[in-house]
Structure formats: C-alpha cells, structure tokens
C-alpha cells in the first residue's frame, strides 16, 4: 500500500490520532481556511503536512534586484515558458494589487504575439475594484471575458502567493493600534508584542487570545526561525517570517475549488500544477523578499506604504495616483466563484473535496 503524504489541509480536516490540544492551539492562529505549516525549521506540525516537491524555500543569497526588476524578470521567464505551447493565457484579474501587477508585467514585457494570447478573466467586482486600469489598459487592447474554462486547454495565471512575500497584512492594524511596537527589537523586549497579540481576538471569535497562548505562539515562531538560521529582529520581521515560512505553500492551491476546476471531466493535482501558475511563485521573488527584511521596502509603518513597490509598478503603466496613494489591501476575490471546498491534497495527486 502506497503511503500518502499530506501537502495541503483545510482547517476542516480533523487530525487523526494527533494531539487535539496542540492542533486546537495551532488552529487558533490560523487566520485563513488553510492549515499553516512550516517550510523550514522546527515547529509543531499537527497534520504532518509535507513540503511541496520542487517548491522548497531557496537558500539565502544576496539579491540586489528591485521588486520592479524582479517582476520584469518573471514576465520574461514566463513568456519563455508559455512559448512551449500555444494555449491561451488566461489571467485571473480581481482588480487587486497582486493580479494587477501580473497583468501589468505581461503588458510591459510580452511580445505582441504573446500578448495576443492573453485573455483577462474578470467580472464586475474586478471592474469596481480598479476601473481605471480596466479603462486605460485593458479595454480595447486586451481580450477579456467572464466565462468558464476547461483548465487543460489553457495556461491559467493568478496573483496568489504574493502576500507571503510581503508582510502579514495584519501588521497594518497592529501598527495603528499598537504604534509602540514599530521598529522595536522584539527579542530584547518580547512583552510588547506578546501583550499586543494577547489582546487580539482568536480567529473568527470575540475571545481574546490571552497571555498564555500569546506566549506559546510567540515562542513557537521565534524558535522556528532560529532553528532555520533566522534571527527575528522586529515586529515586521516576525510577521514576515510567519507569512513567508508558514503561509507560502498552501496558497498554491487557492484556485482548486473554483467551478472551472470541478467542472473538468478529468482532474487531479498534477493537471492543476501543470496548468495553473502563480505569478509570484519564483525563486527570484522569494530572494527579493528574503533580502528586504524590515528595511522599509514592504511597509514603512503606515498603511499607505504597504506594498508600495507593487503599486508603483502599476502606476508606471496607468498613472492612477488614487490607486498608488490610497489603495488598501482588501480581501478581493478572483473572477470566478468557488463551488467546492478542498479538504486535502496528497502527494499522489489525489484531491479530497468536502
């Protein structure tokens, strides 16, 4: 009998024969529907989720390219990859920052013939989130649609996996409500962060996390970083590491429950991995992220500055000052609705739906 290794788990997947208390504690800090698991370092892993084969965290090396340069490099690399087939390139565009960066990069870098293959998959919500980009950049220039696709017939591009490259977005709320933690070396004075975490509510509830759980959580993340050779500096670094190490992988499957997927006659994780490409899933993007820790590039203590290099990249194309200066992180959806919940993905390509 072949042993299956779990690659992805929804927070509705009950752990079998595991420490329920530990699993419950771990779930308290999940601010999403996924179970978070570390890519590197020592940490509790109640569901024993494995790393995605071929998607390990790169070893740190100095990397000097800017976000903009890295994005252009990714466009050139993907253009080469798309040259291997002649399938249409469907970009899931929500109008949010990440998917707009992907689309902007294609427009800036793709050859005309490659751009002719691009179809923007969008809906009304995409337009309402970014009408200027649609009117200035997409309308009358690029094909767009709101329809269903048989995934095996297309290259699908999405903007997921961007958030873990930045800093966990909760930091913008922390910076407003606990400004005293900005830039502080937290390991010398951990109470300042622990107290802030303790006052926050557990995910999906009105119950504060509490001091004891906050300490457990703080120590878990710090210990994990140390065991992987990273020394956490300040609050931004803390939230970056949590995001980058614990939340990067599972976003790979964020499109798995979308209706197009489940309408496919033959579908498994192998087909998904071959046809669905995250724009931000590259070694270079990760190195950019690892080389820009707490240096004011990802956020400069204000909400406005969050993801500013990405917003500037878009501004370069559409000159929309409002979007650059006032766009906030929002929980934007992709063009299609999910109609099935994914419980688990295994390394033998099996997908279990709820």
Q: Which residues bind other proteins (CB under 8 A)?
A: 128-132, 135, 169-170, 172-173, 176-177, 302-304, 320-323, 325-331
Complex with other proteins: residue 78 or 308, whichever CB lies closer? 308
Q: How far is the C-alpha of 43 from the C-alpha of 217, rounded, in Å?
A: 11
Q: How far is the C-alpha of 191 from the C-alpha of 7, rounded, in Å?
A: 35
Q: What are phi and psi of 109, to 5 degrees?
A: -115, -25
Smallest gap from Cβ 134 to other proteins, in A, equals 10
Complex with other proteins: residue 55 or 304, whichever CB lies closer? 304
Smallest gap from Cβ 291 to other proteins, in A, equals 26
Smallest gap from Cβ 342 to other proteins, in A, equals 22
Quick one: which of 159, 181, 152, 167 has its CA closest to 335? Answer: 159
Q: Are strands 89-92 and 155-158 parallel, antiparallel or unpaired?
A: parallel
Q: How far is the C-alpha of 323 from the C-alpha of 335, rounded, in Å?
A: 20
Complex with other proteins: residue 69 or 173, whichever CB lies closer? 173
Residues in the chain: 354
Q: How far is the C-alpha of 202 from the C-alpha of 139, rounded, in Å?
A: 43
Complex with other proteins: residue 74 or 332, whichever CB lies closer? 332
DSSP SS3 for 73: helix
Q: How far is the C-alpha of 203 from the C-alpha of 14, rounded, in Å?
A: 18
Smallest gap from Cβ 195 to other proteins, in A, equals 16
Complex with other proteins: residue 62 or 331, whichever CB lies closer? 331
Contact 108, 118 (CB under 8 A): no
Give me the residue label for tokens 């899933």. 281
Complex with other proteins: residue 40 or 125, whichever CB lies closer? 125
- Other C-beta atoms closer than 10 Å to the C-beta of 288 total 24
Quick one: which of 141, 173, 207 has its CA closest to 306? Answer: 173
Smallest gap from Cβ 341 to other proteins, in A, equals 20
Complex with other proteins: residue 172 or 247, whichever CB lies closer? 172
Smallest gap from Cβ 199 to other proteins, in A, equals 10
Quick one: which of 284, 242, 238, 295 has its CA closest to 62? Answer: 284
Smallest gap from Cβ 137 to other proteins, in A, equals 14
């Amino acid at each position: 009998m072949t042993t299956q290794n779990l690659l992805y788990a929804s927070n509705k997947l009950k752990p079998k024969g595991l420490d329920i208390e530990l699993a419950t504690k771990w779930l308290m800090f999940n601010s999403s529907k996924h179970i978070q698991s570390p890519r590197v370092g020592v940490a509790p892993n109640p569901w024993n989720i494995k790393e995605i084969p071929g998607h390990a965290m790169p070893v740190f090396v100095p990397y000097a390219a800017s976000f903009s340069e890295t994005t252009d490099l990714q466009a050139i690399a993907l253009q080469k990859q798309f040259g291997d087939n002649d399938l249409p390139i469907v970009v899931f565009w929500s109008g949010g920052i990440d998917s707009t960066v992907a689309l902007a990069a294609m427009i800036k870098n793709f050859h005309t013939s490659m751009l002719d293959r691009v179809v923007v998959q969008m809906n009304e919500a995409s337009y309402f989130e970014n009408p200027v980009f649609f009117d200035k950049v997409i309308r009358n220039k690029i094909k767009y649609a709101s329809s269903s696709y048989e995934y095996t017939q297309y290259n699908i591009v999405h903007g997921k996996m961007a958030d873990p490259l930045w800093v966990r977005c909760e930091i913008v709320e922390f910076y407003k409500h606990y400004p005293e933690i900005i830039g502080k070396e937290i390991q010398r004075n951990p109470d300042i962060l622990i107290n802030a975490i303790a006052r926050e509510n557990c995910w999906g509830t009105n119950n504060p996390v509490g001091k004891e759980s906050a300490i457990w959580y703080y120590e878990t993340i710090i210990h994990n970083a140390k065991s992987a050779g990273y020394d956490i500096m300040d609050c931004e670094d803390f939230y970056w590491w949590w995001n980058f190490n614990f939340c990067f992988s599972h976003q790979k499957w964020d499109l798995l429950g979308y209706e197009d997927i489940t309408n496919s006659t033959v579908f498994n994780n192998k087909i998904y991995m071959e046809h669905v490409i995250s724009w931000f899933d590259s070694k270079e993007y990760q190195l950019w992220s690892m080389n820009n820790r707490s240096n004011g590039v990802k956020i400069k203590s204000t909400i406005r500055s969050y993801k500013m290099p990405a917003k500037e990249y878009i501004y370069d194309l559409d000159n929309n000052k409002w979007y650059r200066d006032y766009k906030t992180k929002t929980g934007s959806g992709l063009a299609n609705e999910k109609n099935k919940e994914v419980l688990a993905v295994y390394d033998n390509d099996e997908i279990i739906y709820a």
